[in-house]
Amino acid sequence: MKTLRMLAALITIIVALSGRALSEDQCLTCHAGLGDKESQGYAHDIHKAKGISCAGCHGGNAQADDMDKGMDKAAGFMGVPHGDDISKACASCHSSPEKMKSFGSNLPTNQWEMLQTSVHAKLSTNGNEHIAQCITCHGVHGIVSVKDPRSPVYPLNVVKTCAQCHSNASFMRDYNPAMPVDQVEKYRTSVHGTLNAKGDPKTAECASCHGSHDIRAAKDAKSRVYGVNIPATCSGCHSDAERMKEYKIPTDQFAKFSRSVHGAALLQKHDLGAPACNDCHGNHGAAPPGVESVSKVCGTCHALNADLFSASPHKKAFDDRKLPECETCHGNHEIVAATDKLLGVSNDAVCSKCHRPDENPKGYAVAKTMKSLIDSLETASDTAASIVNDAEQKGMEVSEARFKLRDAHQARLQSRTAVHSFDEQKFRDVVSGGIAVAAVVAKEGKTAVDEYYFRRWGLGIATLIISLVLVSLYFTIRRIERRQAEK
Ligand code: HEC
Ligand code: HEC
Ligand code: HEC
Ligand code: HEC
Ligand code: HEC
Ligand code: HEC
Ligand code: HEC
Ligand code: HEC
Ligand code: HEC
Ligand code: HEC
Ligand code: HEC
């Protein structure tokens, strides 16, 4: 009995409270009666759920059930906001920590501020307002939490929201005729875009790479998609093992990339010529523009290596076996500086992975020869260099020989690229040029050293002769003096 009576009392209180809340928003009561789409949309709006009346954005007196009193300018009614007044109306709460706290909210209060720093804070073509207002992305009269699948910025809908402008060629032309309008089209060809279209909210969409309120131009150094910042943007998801668990792909790309020659050049030296994730994987599409697949991307920068590879016997051999071109020997994320250790038939050499005396033996023989050619070139250069050093220390003039030595080093550098022909004769041509130069340099150095010794011996003998002459002169003078004294 007692519990029933308490329950009844509770229901009475709830009914009374909700009745009061409704009766307080006379704007809504009257407009709902009019059946307009604004009040219909407002039924599921997050602001209504927070007890915010129509007057929260439009101003006016929400308690008045009379239209003129309610929508009275004196009571703060502002009518329908336009242009920047729209975002200002939103910011009157969303940029005020006190107001937001008074509604029990602890959301960030920086959206307006961030929007002002973004590329979307550009003026629209009429020059009166900014391109994007809060409602451009969030809608109005029916605004829901950004985590609600009905929100226009929910991951599955945001693409469409950005596309209303970015896929609209005639709209974009007015702002920037050079701006591509194919982002969505390309995005749909990528793994991200395909999964997104299938209803997976966890892959990357426009806002996960570009941000939301503080979107900047790609060439702005503070942009999330600026070369140096890209690896961190991608690794926000790709290094998060928990988030990526269900996809069963590795989460070590960033860690490996950071240790690679490319990562060191980009992240430490800020060398924008070195690839960031998007240079190999593309910005929006499945691969960068003009590249048929990610495994062919290296040639966009290392063109010489790629050309040699394409003309080499490995081209067909790798294609037949569906082996990726450069990755097979160099890897992809953890590419390290290449050395001649890769070459030859030792256990660490990449060639030995596929070439053995009993397996693809011709390659085995060529790998062995190539390595021994490099060894000969290096030995020849080292010998030549040490002879030239020796001569120089002895004070001999060998600048010309030293200059020629550069050609031998140059041949070694060329040989590193020439490897990719995987052709013994072509490789030999490059290397033997270097060996010949080294031999000439060694000979010139040796001549200089010989001359040094020759000069030293010559000087010694001359000194000896002069000393002998002096000594005999001395004795002759003494003898003459003695004779004169005897006289
Ligand atoms: C008693 C009914 C009633 C009440 C109360 C009322 N309105 Fe209205 N409102 C109307 C009608 C009818 C119109 C359309 C006629 C017009 O455009 O003047 C209208 C128009 C509007 C418009 C569009 C104005 C324009 O210039 O197009 C806005 C905005 C609006 N109301 C907001 C409010 C707000 C906010 C409140 C509460 C502070 C409120 N209304 C209270 C009946 C009401
Ligand atoms: C969160 C802020 C906000 C709230 C709350 C809000 N409005 Fe609005 N309302 C706007 C904005 C912004 C516009 C201008 C929309 C535009 O330019 O497309 C607008 C436009 C309107 C218009 C004009 C529509 C037209 O097509 O010209 C009416 C009528 C209106 N609101 C009525 C209401 C009513 C009634 C309520 C309460 C049920 C309400 N609004 C609650 C922000 C709000
Ligand atoms: C009267 C104060 C007030 C005004 C004006 C206002 N808001 Fe809000 N808004 C709130 C409050 C309070 C919440 C709920 C916050 C929470 O759940 O923590 C909210 C929530 C939101 C959310 C959902 C955030 C989330 O949880 O994901 C969006 C989006 C939003 N508002 C956009 C707008 C836009 C756009 C305008 C202007 C057209 C606007 N607001 C005007 C107070 C306001
Ligand atoms: C270019 C589109 C765009 C514009 C313009 C925009 N927003 Fe957002 N907003 C988003 C996206 C996307 C999210 C989802 C969260 C995220 O990824 O950061 C979001 C999230 C939010 C949230 C949830 C809390 C948060 O900060 O993440 C609020 C509140 C909000 N926006 C309010 C506003 C207000 C107020 C304005 C105008 C000053 C505005 N937004 C303008 C795209 C936009
Ligand atoms: C109201 C139309 C509109 C909407 C909606 C919009 N944008 Fe834009 N966006 C533009 C315009 C206009 C530019 C500026 C073009 C210029 O002048 O260079 C721009 C510029 C950009 C740029 C800078 C491009 C560059 O490198 O110069 C990025 C990135 C961008 N928008 C991403 C987005 C994303 C992501 C969304 C969705 C969350 C979005 N935009 C929503 C109109 C819009
Ligand atoms: C996986 C990350 C990622 C996603 C998802 C993504 N972008 Fe981009 N976006 C980039 C990168 C990286 C660049 C180019 C940076 C550069 O040029 O160096 C870029 C460039 C842009 C540009 C400048 C013009 C251009 O095409 O180069 C616009 C506009 C843009 N994106 C809009 C969008 C829109 C709209 C979406 C959603 C369909 C989207 N982006 C999705 C990473 C992304
Ligand atoms: C919002 C999180 C998120 C961001 C940010 C993100 N990705 Fe992804 N990415 C995913 C998810 C989830 C998958 C799906 C994994 C799968 O099914 O293989 C994926 C798939 C991929 C794939 C295909 C993997 C495969 O299966 O072969 C590549 C490549 C990729 N992302 C590269 C990037 C690059 C490059 C960036 C930055 C420009 C980036 N991603 C940013 C979440 C993200
Ligand atoms: C030098 C080019 C290059 C760079 C830079 C690069 N990748 Fe890759 N990535 C590749 C290649 C090649 C593959 C193998 C693709 C294939 O075989 O289809 C790959 C594979 C992937 C995959 C699929 C899963 C896996 O590990 O095999 C993901 C995810 C990925 N990369 C993300 C990234 C991210 C994130 C970055 C930046 C931190 C990055 N990549 C930098 C070339 C690169
Ligand atoms: C069969 C194994 C193999 C393949 C396939 C291969 N490389 Fe190499 N690469 C090597 C070896 C071995 C060296 C080191 C030679 C040395 O230091 O003597 C090297 C050196 C390099 C170097 C440093 C020397 C230079 O030219 O600047 C680059 C860059 C390079 N490779 C890029 C590529 C690219 C791009 C591809 C794909 C088109 C590729 N490699 C395919 C084995 C390979
Ligand atoms: C965006 C251009 C770009 C792309 C794409 C690229 N690289 Fe590089 N790569 C560079 C630059 C720049 C360096 C020099 C880095 C430094 O300063 O050490 C480099 C260095 C290297 C080296 C070390 C060279 C040496 O002297 O030892 C190898 C090996 C290499 N890249 C292989 C690859 C492979 C394999 C791919 C494809 C999976 C690839 N690169 C994709 C620009 C690129
Ligand atoms: C991933 C396996 C693989 C690696 C690693 C590899 N090769 Fe090959 N190579 C092949 C295959 C397969 C053929 C084709 C053999 C055939 O058709 O008989 C081939 C052919 C060759 C040929 C041509 C042989 C002929 O019959 O004319 C040469 C030369 C060669 N490789 C040298 C090398 C050198 C040098 C290295 C190390 C830098 C190397 N290969 C690394 C798989 C590989």
Pocket test for ligand 7, best of 195, 238, 249 (most atoms within 8 A of CB): 238
Taking alpha carbons only, the member of 37, 145, 129 closest to residue 81 is 129
Distance, in Å, from the CA atom of 6 to the CA atom of 26, rounded to the nearest integer, reads: 31
Q: Give the model confidence (pLDDT) of 261-277 as tens digits.
A: 999 999 999 999 999 99
Ligand 7, residues 189, 192, 297: which to mutate, most atoms within 8 A of Cβ?
192
- pLDDT at residue 21 in the model: 42
CB 381 within 8 A of CB 375: no
248 Cα: distance to centroid of ligand 7 (angstroms) = 12
- Ligand 1 contacts (CB < 6 A) are 26-27, 30-31, 34, 54-55, 58, 60-62, 65, 67, 70-71, 79-80
Per-residue pLDDT band for 159 (boundaries 50, 70, 90) equals: very high
Q: What is the pLDDT, as a whole number, of residue 20?
A: 43
Q: What is the pLDDT of residues 14-53, one digit of tens each?
A: 434 444 444 568 999 999 999 999 999 999 999 999 999 9
Q: Could you tell me if the CB of 67 is within 6 A of ligand 4?
A: no
Is the model's pLDDT at 88 over the cut of 50? yes
pLDDT value for 9: 40
CA 144 to CA 138: how far, in whole Å?
8
Q: Please tell me if the CB atom of residue 207 comes closer than 6 angstroms to any atom of ligand 7.
A: no
Confidence at residue 126, expressed as pLDDT on a 0 to 100 scale: 87
Contacts of 220 (CB under 8 A, 6+ apart): 119, 226
- For ligand 7, the distance from its centroid to the CA atom of residue 324, given in whole angstroms, is 20
Residue whose entry in the numeric block shows the structure tokens 């209180």: 13
Model confidence pLDDT, tens digit, residues 454-480: 998 998 899 999 999 999 999 999 999
Q: Is the CB of 421 under 6 A from ligand 2?
A: no
Atom of ligand 10 nearest to the CA of 330: 35
The pLDDT of residue 377: 96
Residue located nearest, by CA, to atom 28 of ligand 11: 363
Residue 75 buriedness (CB in 10 A; 0-12 / 13-18 / 19+): middle
- What distance in angstroms lies between residue 158's CA and the mean position of ligand 7's atoms? 17
For residue range 340-373, list pLDDT tens digits in order.
999 999 999 999 999 999 988 999 999 999 999 9
Q: Is the pLDDT of residue 7 over 70?
A: no
Residue 479, C-beta contacts closer than 8 angstroms, at least 6 positions apart: none
Take atom 8 of ligand 11 and give the residue whose Cα is closest: 363
Q: What is the mean pLDDT of residues 198-222?
A: 97
| Residue that the structure tokens 């010998």 belong to | 383
Cβ–ligand 4 contact at 87 (below 6 Å)? yes
Question: What is the rounded CA–CA span in Å between residue 305 and residue 318?
Answer: 15
215-254 pLDDT tens trace: 999 999 999 999 999 999 999 999 999 999 999 999 999 9
Q: Is 419 exposed, middle or buried (0-12, 13-18, 19+ CB in 10 A)?
A: buried
pLDDT of residue 155: 98
* Per-residue pLDDT tens digits for 288-302: 877 888 888 999 999
Model pLDDT for residues 388-425, shown as the tens digit of each residue:
999 999 999 989 999 999 999 999 999 999 999 999 99
pLDDT greater than 60 at residue 1:
no
Q: Count of CB atoms within 10 A of residue 126's CB?
A: 7
Ligand nearest to the CA of 330: 10
Examine the pLDDT at 317 and tell me if it is beyond 80: yes
Q: For residue 10, is pLDDT > 80? A: no
Span 77-101, mean pLDDT? Answer: 96
Which residue's CA lies nearest to atom 25 of ligand 3? 145
The pLDDT score that the predictor gives to residue 131 is 93
Paired tokens of 291: 């590249």
